[in-house]
Chain A
């Protein structure tokens, strides 16, 4: 198992290099020439060339890529065109907020979806099932920002329980987390339901019942443990997504997260910030994927056996 983890960690290096190159190349195609924007229309060819040299924009794509990578290894993501601040610093300022929002949103999503999905599966085709599935459909089709605004209207403006924006204290994260979490819960509910339905048909549950295992334990211990793999998979994908930022919720609640950082940077054609933030997000996502694969092994011994082969 340890060897497997080590192997996977080493495999992260080529993955990150590849992803970095793709991001780098896309930004290169998309950017136009930022030197024109900064120097203005009246700049001479010599001035432009000097500026290019200064900003590290001279040379071929591959040359610039390797220059970037060597800086990246030292933790240097370059300087923002707009704020002239260190990109790594900009990112790290936002990261704790994003981690906070993402984690709490996932907690909300799991707390809503797993019980709902289990109830739906256990009572398949009953009223409870229908209600759960309608709720899931609602969560899936409701625009995130709209839900956010509704929550804000009720809980901030009417009741005054939670602040309507900003990132001060625990209370400010509740509404954005619920907003994001409810949206994610929809897919997770459906996944839980279908995975549980699959498992509930299995013979080994009949064995458990025949042993005298109480029905609750049959469902929550014997069945759920077997239904976890697809749930964890979707959880991992969704967690990766929100680690990249939840732009709509962040915008509605003025939440200073990574999503807004990237979107604002795109608006301002702040290439180093976009590239840097995306590469850092990629790193996080690959780490989450690795974590998910490790969790698989602890949930299902058959997967663990494959890893150690």
Chain B
């Protein structure tokens, strides 16, 4: 048992340490990601959760070295995907990895597809590049991919403007899965879709993930989606990870006030009359982060101590980690959700 655990540690598909991303603009430096660690085992799914602007997408782009530079500056102590050091590899090698070992499903299917090429061509391009097959073969496989995501292959010759939003997202998924990536980063893959289509797309992604043994990072602000597909969860706030652990740990033994706030913002199905309890206020301005805990200004439990230093992410048992100063100087501190 112990040895297997060790092996899995050795064979993480993703290992990031102290990732920092800032954007140096004329109006100031935007601190988008401020020192995060992420690890993901093979065939596992990690949910990266947080509000808009928390740095989830930037984190994902940094993994593919796709953060626009300038103005983006990416720094980290370790960035390994499938054992390869992404920081130091050549551009040519990086281009071989992108789309083949790691691929990404983008948030907005409306703008993610090139309007002047057929969807078939766009799926085939990836296959042509990575599998070194003829254009005809690539197009044939592109047709297979379309069928896999539930679009008749005859539509391969159509252009993105002839597809609906849900269909476009399926095409985007087909592109990202075309070369059986080891790691799939799905950036809010269902946000732009109708609720009914959301479920279909999620189900499809889950199916394909199982079928091809893909590891996945699911970026979302929807805790329901996380519960459905993820093994591990990392909650991000203002470029920091504030709580991290397995799905059971984070959902069952929620520690961080922000995570609690996210749960409280969900509609209560059992008690439909219950009011939503939104988190008041806004995420701090990333050009001007507060000195202490970034969540302190919105936190119901915050004390003076909280705004003095940024709390470190500390292990609280198992894989569960939390970054909250209250636990440091108050042994009996517990958020309301746990008290119930």
Contacts and interface: CB of A to CB of B under 8 A. Distances in A.
Nearest to B98: A212
B270 to A, nearest CB: 40
Interface string B85-120: 000000110011111100110101001111111100
Interface string A222-234: 1001100000000
Contact of A226 (B106, B115, B126, B129): B115
B161 A207 contact: no
Contact of A209 (B66, B100, B172): B66
Q: Identify the interface centre among A207, A299, A301: most chain B CB within 10 Å of its CB.
A: A207
Contact of A300 (B64, B100, B111, B116): B116
B111 A204 contact: yes
A300 to B, nearest CB: 6
A64 interface: no
A215 interface: yes
Interface string A176-216: 00000000000000000000000000111111111111110
A71 B124 CA distance: 58
Contacts of B95: 212-215
Contacts of A158: none
A30 interface: no
A29 interface: no
B91 A215 contact: yes
A309 interface: no
B203 to A, nearest CB: 23
Interface string A15-39: 0000000000000000000000000
A6 to B, nearest CB: 24
A203 B192 CA distance: 15
Contacts of A305: 159, 161-162
Contact of B130 (A208, A212, A302): A212
B115 A212 contact: no
B175 interface: yes
A213 B115 contact: no
10 contacts: A203-B112, A206-B66, A210-B104, A210-B176, A212-B97, A213-B95, A215-B91, A215-B95, A222-B114, A226-B115
Given A207-B106, A225-B117, 16 more contacts: A204-B112, A205-B114, A206-B106, A207-B172, A208-B125, A210-B103, A211-B129, A213-B125, A213-B129, A214-B95, A222-B114, A225-B116, A299-B116, A301-B115, A301-B159, A302-B161
